[in-house]
Chain A
Amino acid sequence: GQSLEQPSEVTAVEGAIVQINCTYQTSGFYGLSWYQQHDGGAPTFLSYNALDGLEETGRFSSFLSRSDSYGYLLLQELQMKDSASYFCAVRDMYGQNFVFGPGTRLSVLP
C-alpha cells in the first residue's frame, strides 16, 4: 500500500518563502505530484517530479529525493492568493492508482 505524510498547517507572511514537506511510503514509485486547492474549489495541478532534484515553475519549485522517500514544495515571494491547501500525491506501482496526502493548509498573513 501507500501512505503519505504532510504537516497539517503552515503559516507565513507575504513575501516570505515557505517549504511544505511530504514523505511517502509506497510499494512502487512512479513520481510525486503537487496540487493546490482553494477553499470550496477543485484541486489544480502544480508540479511533478519523477527524478531526483528540483523542478522550478515560476514562484513554485518542487524537490524530490527518491532515496529518502521525501519531497517538498517551495513557494517563494508568497502572496495572499497562495493561501490554500496543498496536497502531494503518488502513483502506485501499477501506475493506475493515485494516492493523495492529507494536505497542508497554508495561511499567508499580511
Chain B
Amino acid sequence: DTEVTQTPKHLVMGMTNKKSLKCEQHMGHRAMYWYKQKAKKPPELMFVYSYEKLSINESVPSRFSPECPNSSLLNLHLHALQPEDSALYLCASSQSSGQGGFGSPLHFGNGTRLTVT
C-alpha cells in the first residue's frame, strides 16, 4: 500500500466544472509535488511545495491551482479544463525538497485518473 493517498481515484468533469484533487501523506515529508502523466509517458512535473510554500511552478496554465493547507495535505483545484488535460495526476512527497536527490527519493500516490469531457 502506498503511503501517499490520493482522492478521488477517478474523476470525470466537464469543461465548465470546478473540481479538486486531494493528496495526503503522513510520513513527515516536507516537500510535496504534483505531476501529470499521459499514457505510456513518464511523469511531468507541475508544482513543487517545500515547507508548505510553492517553490516551483513549471509554467502550468492558471486553470490548475495548487494549494498546500498544511505539511500533510496538498490539493489541486481544477477549473475550465480542456479535453487535452485528461491524464493521470500523481501526487508525490519526499523528505526534503531536493526532488529525489540528496538521499530523499520521491514516493508517489496511485494517482487520480482525470477525464475532461
- Do A and B form a real pair? no
**Chain B interface (Cβ within 8 Å of chain A)?**
none
**Chain A interface (Cβ within 8 Å of chain B)?**
none
